[in-house]
């Protein structure tokens, strides 16, 4: 079982920063930047910052933990953040060196119910969660921070 962190990265012009995955023989799909928590990560937030440096050569201000998804392999923690800077050409994650893993393309998607619905965002439970929240409130930054409700869940 391995827990993971993911970033719902919002740009200054209210777009969602995603990674489009293209693998041979599969339909393209989109994921959020992030990955597995390493033993030397001091916290969930530290793991997320490390992943953003690796995958985007990016820096973000974490606003809140807004969703936790239990999966067969562990838990996924979804953090809402404002991306301050990124340079996809300077990414350093080990997955980018493996040609058989397919392509990783950075894409900005409008942060709207329609925008999220126009892509195959994985996992589907997160896509449903975002579409639902955008339909209800419109402003994802108004969602509660789950870190306060999860004592002992974080390193």
Is the pTM higher than 0.85? The answer reads yes
CA distance 30 to 122: 6
Structural domains of the chain sorted by starting position, each given as residue range(s) with its CATH number in brackets: 4-142 (3.90.79.10)
- With contact defined as beta carbons under 8 Å apart, do 10 and 3 qualify? no
Phi, then psi, of 29 in degrees rounded to 5: -145, 165
pLDDT of residue 40: 95
| pLDDT averaged over every residue in the chain | 90
- With contact defined as beta carbons under 8 Å apart, do 116 and 99 qualify? no
pLDDT of residue 24: 86
According to DSSP, the residues that pair with 117 across neighbouring strands are none
Given the structure tokens 């490390």, which residue do they identify?
50
The β-bridge relationship of strands 34-36 and 59-71 is unpaired
CB atoms within 10 A of CB 136: 11
Q: Which residues of 34-62 are buried (b: 16+ CB within 10 A; e: fewer)?
A: bbebeeebeebbebbbbbbbbbbbbebeb
Confidence of residue 155 (pLDDT cuts 50, 70, 90): very low
């Amino acid at each position: 079982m391995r827990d993971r962190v993911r970033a719902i990265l919002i740009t200054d012009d209210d777009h969602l920063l995603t990674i489009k995955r293209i693998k041979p023989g599969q339909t393209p799909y989109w994921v959020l930047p992030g990955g597995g928590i390493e033993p030397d990560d001091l916290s969930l937030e530290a793991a997320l910052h490390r992943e953003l440096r690796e995958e985007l050569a990016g820096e973000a201000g974490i606003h809140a933990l807004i969703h936790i998804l239990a999966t067969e392999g562990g838990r996924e923690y979804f953090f809402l953040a404002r991306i301050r800077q990124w340079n996809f050409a300077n990414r350093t994650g080990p997955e980018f060196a493996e040609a058989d893993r397919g392509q990783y393309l950075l894409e900005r998607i409008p942060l709207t119910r329609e925008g999220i619905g126009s892509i195959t965002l994985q996992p589907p439970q997160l896509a449903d969660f975002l579409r639902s929240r955008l339909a209800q409130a419109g402003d994802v930054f108004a969602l509660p921070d789950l870190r306060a409700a999860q004592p002992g869940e974080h390193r």
